[in-house]
Amino acid sequence: MKLPFFGRPAPLGNRPMSRDKADILLLLFACTLVLLPHASHLPVWITPVCAALLGWRGWITFRGNRLPPRWLLLPVAALAMGGVYLTFRTFFGREAGVSMLALLLTLKLLEMHAKRDLFVALFLSFFLILSSFFYSQSIGTALLTLAAVVAILTTQVSFQFTGAVPPLKQRLRMGATILLLAGPVTLVLFLLFPRIQGPLWGMPGDAHSGRTGMSDTMEPGNIQSLAQSDEIAFRVKFTGSPPPKAQLYWRGPVLSGFDGRKWFPQRRQTPGTTSVNLQGEALNYQVTLEPHGKRWLFALDIPRAVPLIEQNPARITYDMQLLASQGVHERLRYDAASHLQYELNPNETPASLQQWLDLPPGFNPRAMVFASDLRRKAQSSADLVSAVLRHFRTEAFRYTLQPPLLGRDHVDDFLFTTRAGFCEHYSSAFVVLMRAAGIPARVVTGYQGGELNAADGFLVVRQSDAHAWAEVWLEKRGWVRIDPTSAVAPERVEGNLASAIPRQILGGLITLDASNNALFAQLQKIRQNWDAVSNAWNQWVLNYTPQQQRNFIKSLGFEDVDWRTMATLLLVFGSLAVAIVVLPLLFHETKRDPVEAIYLSLCRRLAKKGFPRELHEGPRSYRARLTSAESPLPQNQKAALARFLELYETVRYDATDLARPTAVARLKSLSAECR
């Protein structure tokens, strides 16, 4: 069956847009909504090609031209598939597959000659919508997906009408209604269908790519670049009130090795045990960690015990670093407890401390001399620590995101030449000075601070809160946290990065001072509200894990949760959801069209007189039989029937220019004449 307007030119002139054009343009709009979420991750050449193909199809629709011949489409399709292969060197995998789907959908729109081609395009659209969750499962993506599904359903409904077509608003309502009817069953399947462990929208090889987060090495520039990102690292919900920002040190990778420029983790060179004397009350909280692809977890300095994580068991290292057994490739939630006052390994032996004194030879000679001078003047290790912090505080050091470039001896350059840097510059220089003066020291990286969201009570820690500090070992005190950045920029520790370094936009033309800017405060409030909505989506939808599903089923009163229990619940609640949707439809009386009611009333009267309408007869065939010469009806009744059925056919199938109330009154009058 040929689809109207798919192959023949439309009449010219300033006439209202025909139904065929309107339906095709609605299809193009739906396909645009489907392709929109993919624009950010498709290769740079595919999005313009898809836009050009959509524009080509729209131009054909407006002009009423014929669709391009197959001999033209085949080379275009071959070039598109060749481009996909040259880009990915394969036709398999997530990226190549989604790219081909996008191109095939837009190419199919130029090759629609029958109704089955329309359904192919619609089903391709549904597949492409599903694939958008490969890349993002945010609430924004979900809303855009719902809009695209409504547009596709509206398009499908529009092509099903054979007579008069309802207005677009009514068809959109029909599409949204179809989607809403699937809501109860969808909710039951979401809550009770067995969950699988692991990233649902991932594939081997490329499911875990592109993660942003803390690195296990530190050199000048890497934390500085990370701190310019507003991406969320993790969220924290405290059982009680959160501690002051100055005490929020979220411990991450501990770096002991140093090669003259880069800091990196190092195994403990001598055997020993970790001794921790915890003081004060514990702080209880829950962390929702965003995927970052690495093994480390974050907890307040210092964690009381290893968090219990069923799907990714964790352990704690000798330097109190939390590590998961596998990389964190999906959102992870765990409960933790920490003590802010503690003594860590106060009884270390000189042999065990040696690895935290090592420095590579031949680097930073001026820093070595400076440390020796400080050592001679200091009466104790604590005095020497205070002297270095006082040096940072009183000399002309600056805290900046744009420090000058450093040479081979970057600690010397920083301490005696540039005196401008970010937290990694200060922590690195401080630890080098400590080691040069004979005090064991190491670098600790992680996050400092966080932003309390008043909308939902969660503390939001962003990549911009990335930080590096130092730990020194002092006799009878053990490892003590020292943050040299606080000596230069205390507002960074007591507030956040924006407090220490005002944010600049438009290439530095506008500076937003967080301390005194109404616009900044308003933007911050909007961002907090949106973060609260996104967090609720993450907590209750994306983080609905198998464990949470078991807890939910147990809350219904089922202690022994096995596959039989889940199958029974799924069957019972699924049947109930289907009944909620189907029963109202079965018992709902559809409001009858008055035009159709008059026509059916006349057909019943004629059937009683011996002239029933056959099932295959439409109004035109019925009229021809009733008014034929062989019909025994009187001539005046034949004329009345002819006028009635002709008007009914016009109103029913081509009522574009006829006012419906007038038509109903006229049909009633003609029906009375037919008696």
Q: With CA atoms as reference, report the closest residue to 501 among 426, 423, 424, 447.
A: 423
Q: Determine which one of 23, 412, 465, 483 is catalytic.
A: 483
User: Using an 8 Å Cβ cutoff, are 24 and 5 in contact?
Assistant: yes
Burial of 396 from C-beta contacts in 10 A (0-12 / 13-18 / 19+) = exposed
Q: Which two tokens stand for residue 577?
A: 């959801």
User: Using an 8 Å Cβ cutoff, are 108 and 142 in contact?
Assistant: no
Question: CB under 8 Å, gap of 24 or more: what pairs does 402-406 form?
Answer: 403/220, 403/224, 406/220
Q: Which two tokens stand for residue 270?
A: 């001598």
Q: Which residues have CB under 8 Å from 267's CB, separation 6+? A: none
Find the helix packing angle between 94-108 and 115-131, rounded to 10°: 150
- Give the E-state strand segments of 601-670 in sequence order: none
CA Rg value for the chain: 36
DSSP 8-state secondary structure symbol assigned to residue 262:
-
Q: Within 10 Å of residue 95's Cβ, how many Cβ atoms? A: 21
**Is 467 an annotated catalytic residue?**
yes
**Is 423 an annotated catalytic residue?**
yes
d(CA 431, CA 426): 9
d(CA 619, CA 642): 10
Q: With CA atoms as reference, report the closest residue to 53 among 26, 73, 83.
A: 73
Cis peptide before 232 (omega within 30 of 0): no
Q: Which residue has the tokens 């109190």?
A: 320
Q: With CA atoms as reference, report the closest residue to 447 among 241, 259, 211, 236.
A: 236
- What is the chain's length? 675
CA distances from 236 to 241, 334, 344, 364 (A): 12, 10, 25, 40
DSSP 8-state secondary structure symbol assigned to residue 333:
E
Find the helix packing angle between 19-35 and 115-131, rounded to 10°: 20
Which amino acid appears at position 302 of this protein? I
CA distances from 515 to 74, 473, 502, 519 (A): 62, 37, 9, 11
- Mapping DSSP onto H, E and C, the string for 295-309 reads CECCEECCECCCCCC
Strand-pair partners of 336:
285
Q: Determine which one of 31, 50, 423, 674 is catalytic.
A: 423
Q: Which two tokens stand for residue 318?
A: 């000798």
User: Using an 8 Å Cβ cutoff, are 638 and 568 in contact?
Assistant: no
Q: What is the DSSP string of 11-32?
A: PPSSPPPPHHHHHHHHHHHHHH
Q: With CA atoms as reference, report the closest residue to 359 among 300, 411, 310.
A: 411
**Is 483 an annotated catalytic residue?**
yes
Q: With CA atoms as reference, report the closest residue to 386 among 349, 352, 420, 433.
A: 433
Which positions are annotated as active-site residues?
423, 467, 483
